[in-house]
Chain A
Amino acid sequence: MGKIQISASKAFALHFLCAAALAAGYCLARDVYALNLISDPAQTLRLLLVFEGPVVIGIYSWIRRDPDSCSYLKAVGRGLLGLPIGASINAFGAIVLGAPIGIKYLTKTIYWSFLMSLFTFVPASCVFGKSRMDWQRILAHSKPMEGVDYMISLPAHGAVIGAWLGAWPMPLDWERPWQEWPICVTYGSVAGYLVGMLASSVFILILRRQDPVKVD
């Protein structure tokens, strides 16, 4: 098969690493640089990006689909290539949905879309490369899923749905600073991402239980 199976504990550990990177980035921003998402969204998002990026690319390149034909470095390269592509797709989606456009928001939108790309697009591009079948399967949930699919699909969907939900408080007239683009959307997507990772760990656990023969 050439596929690596993933155990629940491993999946959980990898997810934990991703979450920890996010947390570390956030803590560093808050404690060392005294930044926070509400007052300086651009800088904080950049710091989160710097922490999360290498971790995500590293982890998902390691669990790449075809380890025999594709070296680790090549997977990393795929991930790096996928980052801007995913970012532009995410930015396009955000603009379609009504993200403000203007010089003032440009840097924020760019950093936010890169972060979203890390949550959604980069893992899949590290693992699958340009295998169209796999991408379709991730989107469709149609064929039987494997552990890695869950690891990619659920957090990505979680992040997108979270961001979508996170946009809803924006029009309210509460006049809180966090209602600005992209702060609450970022909160939403991070929350959705974390929930998705938790869900994927649980799903993998269930999958292992049902199907213990496959464990090697």
Chain B
Amino acid sequence: MGSKWALIRPFFLILLLHSVAIYLFTRGFLLTRTELSAYSRCSDLSHSPCSALHNSSSHDDRRCWTKPAVDRLVIIILDALRFDFLAPSSFFAEAKPWMDKLRVLQKLASGEGSSARIFKAIADPPTTSMQRLKGLTTGGLPTFIDVGNSFGAPAIVEDNLICQVDNGVMEHLLPSLYKDDWDVLIAHFLGVDHAGHIFGVDSTPMIQKLEQYNSILEKVVDVLKSQSGPGGPHENTFLVVMGDHGQTLNGDHGGGTPEEVETSLFAMSLRSPPASISSILELNSCKLDLDGEKICIGTIQQLDFAATVAALLGIPTPFGSIGHVNPELYALSASTWDGQKMGTNNCKSWSNLEAWMQNYANTLCINCWQVKRYIDLYSATSVIGLPSEDLHHVAELYAQAQTSSSNTKKSTCLSENGISNETQDSSASVLQLQIDAYSNFLENVAKLARSAWTEFDLILMAIGICFMLVSLSIHLFAIGRVNIVCGSFYAVSGICAYPFSLFTAFLLVVIRAASFLSNSYILMEGRVANFLLATTGILNLRYSVRNGKFSKDEFVFLLINIIIRFGIGFGMSKQTVGSTSLNAQYLNILGIYEGHPLWMMLLEILPVIMLSLLAIFLYKCTLGISCWGYLKYLLIMGSSFSYMLISVHWVSESKLIAMSTVIQDIGRNLAPRIVFAVGLGLLVSSLLSRILGLKDRDLNPIASLTISTVSMLSSWSPTILILLGRQGPFVGLICIIGAWCIVRAEKEQQIKSKSGTLGGFAISPVHVTQWNLLAVCLFFYTGHWCTFDGLRYSAAFIGFDHFNIIRQGILLAIDTFGVSHIVPILSLPFLVMLHPQNSEENKAKGIIFVKLTQVFLIYGLITSVTTMFAIICVTIHRRHLMVWGLFAPKYVFEAMGLLLTDVVICLASLYYY
């Protein structure tokens, strides 16, 4: 008994270490922000402290949150617009060929009292268009895996009128400007980004592109100006020309370098604000441009864009926005100046500036309330909230700002009543104080959000990696110890050594793991695994040929490889194209058309035939083993019953046979549920029989191990088969044949190389590696891939119409990891027990378990090495363009796979030993 626990204990230790490592690393790496589904509404404002102020002073029905300052908004997004594309070259040390190409905007922005301005807009990394557009429109920080229902990330592009090709944009942009059926017009030009990616920044196409944009913008400005007279459609229109992110000189973007983060924003109000605008904007850096005119450049965070635009349009700020209404951009619009005077009748004596400040303070009040509301709701609902002391600090700031606000109200009332010139200065300074208080709050929130949502916790990540390394060394140590035990068993008969085999296995694992360092290989992971699996097959073939024995197992294994390869290729094309009609395309190549009745028949019948083959195989397998007891009949009955139900389910789903709805309903929903129940029942009964019955009998350990393995697998098989759908039986057959070939090859080699002496491996590590590679291939073969849209959601709803997070989650997990983790690990004993046994070994009963431990340890080691590399890879690529699209999902899948592997190994060792 003691020795049994000595064998099992390392698995639990390793599981523990892996869990800690992955927990720490995930906390440091996956900065999660839960997406809240709440929306901002006009009526929400009545809950805000600012509402009283507003409702009393406003009689305007159009008014929602703030008074609309502009009527219409034209946003032109030039993808990957570097800051120096737009800013005059005088702002830079050296004039480069690509500078000063957008002269029309520069001219508009230059000169005193201009209503146009150029800003340096600073984006938050990752600087990819998708993430940036999301950030611009929601006013949030989009760096993390947005947990929640955001798996279909492209949705946001589709919502807006954003994604269009340049020419299409040009075609539609100018005519739209004449129409009056819109309030906000967004045009998105991708040309600069494209030119940058292909030719780089310092290239003729780029300069041509910029010149082309210059002429387009000139036309747009002309149209707007020509209609901006009083009563014209563009009387109070606001034009924004902006980039979503910058780019490096090579045209790359995605990272966080200044070149990529700094983009430009040009804003122009077609109605000129009063001259005192410049007093607001004194902080700007101003220089003379090429024509010798003064031009000023402001700075804005992209985070603030959504809030500012919402304030200008007078619409509710997006619920998740943590932006700050930017004073410079807000001041550009003339209506923000005169609005307050018309609204509040009492303050006629106020200067323009003061009125504007009052208005701006009100806007900020709403802005702060909205941000506070979001932060409160977020920390109340999300799983990993924000640090509590920071929240407390922010809340304090908010309270301060609010109290100063009420003070200001009093003081402004005073100044309204007692008209004296002296109080004007003081009221201006009071307003300024209040604006500062609000800004302080908003800045702190933004800082908190940035640190919580966009900065990796490198220390936690490093600790996680260290734990992983420790677990790897413990793993190696455990293998070494088991090898010594194993070697002692073989002291007489001579242990098989595999120096070459060990080297090959090591090389294969490291190659596969190292391939995670490149995004291309992660995309092609299925192909890579298949390539390596085929390589092992060819090496085995070569091995047997050179021993003068051509066994057909190896040949069959290669054929299986070809089938897997096409399956993976098919899955991959689905991944890239993402269309369901691909099946048809594939068949067309083969000369078969989808609609062909014979083909349809075949498609329906083939899985059923395969399934019956599988059932017969299982039956034979079960019959072949003696000394079963009642479990045997239970297994045969249960699995054949569930196989029948599976075929009923498929028939009921087929379109060929018309059936009454009742039968269809039974087949569709009831049958799968019964299958799941039978599977569970079989699982429980094999566990029970293992615990109660077989322990006592003095059974040959190999026979008892065989019984438990077969019963385990046959109780899992119906569930996994029905979840996999019609490909299930075929996958099952491939699985069995592949495994059979590996086991046979292992057996051959055992017989061959009895003469070896060193190493202590009872099982060739190559074959365990092969087992692992086969499992990886099957993962991809069954149509999965390592992103969240690679999950087969439809599998979770087999037998159920309604969503239940636990039930559907379990089904989805079984579908995703069943054939690639659960089944391969549970069937690992086959590698051991079909081993040739000699008489001495039979005496030593424990040897089989020592061997099994060895196999489990090697398998676990392979998985943890690949996960280790996946972790290193995401650490290296944490600022990579595709980190959230590719590397992070890969990491999540690997980490989940590793934990599942550990858990299954632990449970299996408890069950089998």
Contacts and interface: CB of A to CB of B under 8 A. Distances in A.
Interface of A: 92-93, 95-98, 102, 132, 136, 139-140, 142, 164, 167, 171-173
Contacts of A172: 518, 520-521
Contacts of B519: 173
Given A171-B528, A172-B520, A96 B538 contact: yes
B542 A95 contact: no
Given A139-B542, A171-B528, A96 B520 contact: no
Nearest to A140: B546
23 contacts: A95-B562, A96-B537, A96-B558, A96-B565, A97-B534, A97-B535, A98-B530, A98-B531, A98-B534, A136-B546, A136-B547, A139-B545, A140-B547, A142-B546, A164-B535, A167-B531, A171-B521, A171-B524, A171-B527, A171-B528, A172-B520, A172-B521, A173-B519
A96 B563 CA distance: 9
Interface string B543-561: 0011110000000001001
Interface string B505-533: 00000000000001111011001101100
Contacts of B589: 102
B523 A132 contact: no
A47 B821 CA distance: 49
A102 B569 CA distance: 13
B534 A96 contact: yes
Contact of B538 (A93, A102, A142): A93
Contacts of B524: 171
Contacts of B534: 96-98
A139 B535 contact: no
Given A172-B518, A172-B520, A173-B519, A97 B546 contact: no
Contacts of B520: 171-173
B548 A132 contact: yes
Contacts of A140: 546-547
- Which 10 pairs between the two chains have the least Cβ-Cβ distance? A139-B546, A171-B524, A140-B546, A96-B534, A172-B520, A173-B520, A97-B534, A96-B558, A171-B520, A96-B561
Contacts of B562: 95-96
A140 B546 CA distance: 6
Given A98-B530, A98-B531, A172-B518, A136 B548 contact: yes
A157 to B, nearest CB: 10
A139 B549 CA distance: 13
Nearest to A100: B569
A143 to B, nearest CB: 11
A171 B527 CA distance: 9
A97 B531 contact: yes
Nearest to A141: B546
Contacts of A93: 538
Interface string B171-192: 0000000000000000000000
A121 to B, nearest CB: 13
B334 to A, nearest CB: 50
B507 to A, nearest CB: 12
A136 B531 contact: no
Contacts of B535: 97, 164
A98 B535 CA distance: 11
A102 B531 CA distance: 19
A121 B260 CA distance: 55
Contacts of A95: 562
Nearest to A137: B546
A135 B530 CA distance: 28
Interface string B768-802: 00000000000000000000000000000000000
Nearest to B518: A172
B521 A98 contact: no
Contacts of A96: 534, 537-538, 558, 561-562, 565
Name, among A132, A140, A167, the residue most crowded by chain B CB atoms within 10 Å (CB to CB).
Answer: A140
A142 B546 CA distance: 10
B128 to A, nearest CB: 16
B435 to A, nearest CB: 50
Given A96-B534, A96-B561, A172-B518, A136 B545 contact: yes
Nearest to B558: A96
Given A95-B562, A96-B537, 17 more contacts: A92-B558, A96-B558, A96-B561, A97-B531, A97-B538, A98-B527, A102-B589, A136-B546, A136-B547, A136-B548, A140-B546, A171-B520, A171-B524, A171-B527, A172-B518, A172-B521, A173-B523
Nearest to A167: B531
A121 B533 CA distance: 24
A95 B530 CA distance: 11
Interface string B431-472: 000000000000000000000000000000000000000000
A144 B666 CA distance: 72
Contacts of B547: 136, 140
Contacts of A136: 545-548
A210 B171 CA distance: 81
Contacts of A92: 558
Contacts of B521: 171-172
Contacts of B538: 93, 96-97
Contacts of A142: 546
A19 to B, nearest CB: 26
B525 to A, nearest CB: 9
Contact of A171 (B523, B545, B558, B561): B523
Name, among A92, A136, A167, A171, the residue most crowded by chain B CB atoms within 10 Å (CB to CB).
Answer: A171
A149 B562 CA distance: 32
B510 to A, nearest CB: 14
Nearest to B532: A97
A176 B910 CA distance: 53
Nearest to B511: A168
A193 B565 CA distance: 28
Contacts of B565: 96, 98
A164 B548 CA distance: 25
Nearest to B565: A98
Contacts of A102: 589
